[in-house]
Amino acid sequence: MSLTKEQIAQRIAKEIKNNSYVNLGIGIPTLVANYIPKGINVVLQSENGLLGMGPFPIEGEEDPDLINAGKQTITTLPGSAVFDSAMSFGMIRAQKVDLTILGAMEVSENGDIANWKIPGKMVKGMGGAMDLVASAKNIIVAMQQVNKHGESKLLSECTLPLTGVKCIKKIVTELGVYEVLPEGGFKLLERAPGVSVDDIKKATSGKLIADDNAPEMTF
């Protein structure tokens, strides 16, 4: 069975190291805030100007003045700080963020990412993704591996306008966890429970390095 969006976020949360600063992008990455492992001290940063972001609020307790970069209502934790976007991007560009978790439309086997524009469709702007991929120390992508037509989004080369080049190190999809190798290629590290390596091969257009005995994820 392929993972749900919540399970993708839950698996990525296991990658967060203690005492780190982490930026959560729009989409699946925002769900990671709900799955921070116990005993892990992490400060979540939102690019619209917040340090110390907590999990999503309980229904009925939302504060419309507290939102993340995706305009979703959020909670703050003790010691959190609110500031303007200039300060936020100063932190990002100065490489104060240890890990960035982003969504993507496509990722290439060389670690290129396309996640801001589909030609012919209206977009409000590129947002902060280009700053994040240019400045982050480590980037993990949370994405669906195939589109609604069943076509792979892990490609030899991206077909959409690029956000960044050779910057992605790890990807978590509904089918598996992948490392992007320095020499190019998606190395399968773990597969979703019940998903076979053959299923993953069929869903990957780019170069895939996969052991038939790749372990299943655990939660």
Does residue 114 surpass a pLDDT of 90? yes
Q: Is the pLDDT of residue 142 over 70?
A: yes
pLDDT digits (tens, 9 = 90+) for 52-87: 999 999 999 999 999 998 889 999 999 999 999 999
Task: Classify burial at 204, counting beta carbons within 10 Å of its beta carbon; exposed 0-12, middle 13-18, buried 19 or more.
Answer: buried
Percent of the chain exceeding pLDDT 90 equals 85
Active site residues: 47
Rg over alpha carbons for the chain, rounded to the nearest Å, is 17
For 181-207, what is the mean pLDDT? 97
The average confidence (pLDDT) of the chain is: 93
215/115 Cα distance (integer angstroms): 29
What is the per-residue pLDDT across 13-57, written as a single tens digit (0 to 9) for each? 999 999 999 999 988 999 999 999 999 999 999 999 999 999 999
125 pLDDT tier (thresholds 50, 70, 90): low
Phi-psi region of 64 (alpha: psi -120 to 50; beta: other; left: phi over 0): alpha
Q: What is the pTM of this model?
A: 0.93
The model's pLDDT over 86-106, given as tens digits with 9 standing for 90+, comes to 999 999 999 999 999 999 999
